[in-house]
Amino acid sequence: MAKQTSGTFKTSDGCSISYTLHSHANGKAPRVALVHSLALDRSVWDSVVAELAPHASLLAYDCRGHGASSPVVMPYTATLFADDLAQLMEHVNWPAATVAGCSMGGCVAQAFAAIYPQHTQGACLIDTTAWYGADAPAKWRERAATAKDKGMGALIDFQLTRWFTDAWRTSAANSATIEALKQIFLANDVRCYERTCEMLGTDDLHALLASIKAPTAVVVGAEDYATPVSMAEALHLAIPQSTLTVIKQGRHITPVECPHEIAAELKKLIKV
């Protein structure tokens, strides 16, 4: 059985990062670090953690400016977030791990795998991209402006339709999960949300992809129109040791909607 502990640590620049460590009883079990998507928190991984906990040690955390971590208002980059993860892994005495990230978290995982190859045993890039395109800065600025001018609530319906397929989103069985995610989204510090939107609008990670040498699984929901299949295909083509999986019944936050499929991809990477 895994032992669950929660804690906080401070990065080199003083940001407090909140995390949960699920330590496997076997000290030689694989290790997987989990990075969440924009404006949500580590809870997006709960169902994946439940499936993987019998097989691996798991580290889930809230990125800076998200969840229970510090609402630090400063320029954000995927590299900065990757540095946070490297320091967190050092804090919990993990020399290396497979790193999985969804959407924004996938950008962080790309940066981490490229910059810290010695700490990367594998990478799982879920519903993500290396670059949102030439029109991305304007689109992300518009989204940030809506949050600033009208509040996070003005974006919730837009987000829910992007996150989940219509069938999953409208099922009564998922109403409690959706409500919990809504509350996490609404609780965001708007200033930090703005900084993260700026990061996603301007970061271009293409130059890093050829440097990712670890085995990599690229995974995308077939209905994902935020980071569509074409973007996943581009990642797959650019990363040397990569596979591509398209989840038929999935949209943009597949760790929540399709946890079994995501856990299955991670099990392949960690060979359990």
Distance CA 254, CA 163 (A): 8
Query: What is the DSSP secondary-structure string of 145-191?
Result: HHHHHH-GGGGHHHHHHHHS-HHHHT-GGGHHHHHHHHHHHHTS-HH
pLDDT of the residue at 177? 98
Q: Which residues does residue 4 pair with via DSSP β-bridges, in sequence order?
A: 22
Non-local (6+) Cβ contacts of 172 within 8 A are: none
Name all domains of the chain by residue range, CATH numbers in brackets.
3-133+204-270 (3.40.50.1820)
pLDDT of the residue at 1? 58
Token pair for residue 146? 């809506």
Task: Say how many Å lie between the first and final Cα of the chain, rounded.
Answer: 16
CA angle 93, 99, 103 (to 5 degrees): 135
* Alpha helices (H) along 46-100: 46-52, 78-91
Residues 205, 78 contacting (CB under 8 angstroms): yes
pLDDT in tens, the chain (272 residues): 579 999 999 999 999 999 999 999 999 999 999 999 999 999 999 999 999 999 999 999 999 999 999 999 999 999 999 999 999 999 999 999 999 999 999 999 999 999 999 999 999 999 999 999 999 999 999 999 999 999 999 999 999 999 999 999 999 999 999 999 999 999 999 999 999 999 999 999 999 999 999 999 999 999 999 999 999 999 999 999 999 999 999 999 999 999 999 999 999 999 99
Q: How far is CA 15 from the centre of its chain?
A: 19
Beta strands 31-35 and 57-61, pairing class:
parallel
Distance CA 41, CA 35 (A): 8
pLDDT of the residue at 197? 98
Q: Which of these, 96, 122, 123, 119, lies nearest to 109 by C-alpha position?
A: 123
